[in-house]
Amino acid sequence: MALPSNVLKRGQRYALILVDLSVGFTDPSRSPLASESDDVVEANRVLLERFRERGWPVFFTTVAYSEPSQASVFREKLPALNVLEAGSGLVEIDSRLQPRSDEPVLVKHWASGFFGTDLDDRLKAAGVDGTVVTGLTTSGCVRATALDSLQHNYRTLIPREAVGDRDSDAHEANLRDLGIKYADVMSLSGLLALLD
């Protein structure tokens, strides 16, 4: 039997964290890690536009490797990650979501956008108490980032249309679990209404 989930109080200021919306995850013709994600990209485009209109902080993450020692055990477990070579087109953010000069793209080597990066310091400097976590993939890097967001004491929101996964069962199971324990999972329209 599942535990009842409580809805988090609304945060005062949110940051948008777009997790791994790079070509390596959005273009299945070029990468074994990618899935059909046009709808996810479009939902993120809508969110990005809203955050930009409001002048709210936006952060992108991408996975990129420049040497064999980086996240070697993670890459041993998931060898497809080896295609994400630093400097390759696969680690670039999808052009439909092109970051602006004031929107950092944090390079990471592991699943969470927090692990081994200065994301928490940047969020604190931006004066936020909540995050909106989006991107790819739900069962991997999105989940890890959302969990770490909570563990850094941010009120964490996940719009279900703005996340995706190569495995639809894993996608649904992880959204359910995240919603019970770690974040508020809601529709994109519900999130936009909450932010307004």
pLDDT digits (tens, 9 = 90+) for 77-135: 999 999 999 999 999 999 999 999 999 999 999 999 999 999 999 999 999 999 999 99
Query: Could you tell me if residue 105 is inside a domain?
Result: yes
Q: Helix (H, G, I), strand (E, B), or coil: what is residue 62?
A: strand
CATH code, domain with 156: 3.40.50.850
Rounded to an integer, the average pLDDT of 179-183 is 96
Per the domain annotation, does 31 fall within a domain?
Answer: yes
Q: Residue 136: beta bridge partners?
A: 164
Whose tokens are 């359910």? That residue is 176
Please indicate, yes or no, if residue 21 is contained in any of the structural domains: yes
Average pLDDT, the chain: 96
In a domain, 7, yes or no: no
The whole model's pTM is what?
0.96
| Domain count of the fold of the chain | 1
The answer to whether 141 is a known catalytic residue is yes
Catalytic entry in 18, 136, 141, 175? 141
Mean pLDDT value across residues 146-161: 98
Give the side-chain half-sphere CA count within 13 A for 23. 14
**What residues make up the domain containing 67?**
14-195
Please choose, from the candidates 183, 192, 188, 158, the residue with its C-alpha nearest in 3D space to the C-alpha of residue 5.
183
> Binning pLDDT at 50, 70 and 90, where does residue 7 land?
confident
On whether residue 6 sits in a domain, the answer given is: no
Residue 1 domain flag: no
Cα separation, 167 vs 137, in Å, equals 9
Report which residue type is found at 163: V
pLDDT at 1 (0 to 100): 53
pLDDT of residue 196: 86
- Structural domain includes residue 133: yes
What mean pLDDT is predicted for residues 174-195? 96
Q: Quote the CA–CA distance of 61 and 17 in Å, as a whole number.
A: 8
9, part of any domain:
no
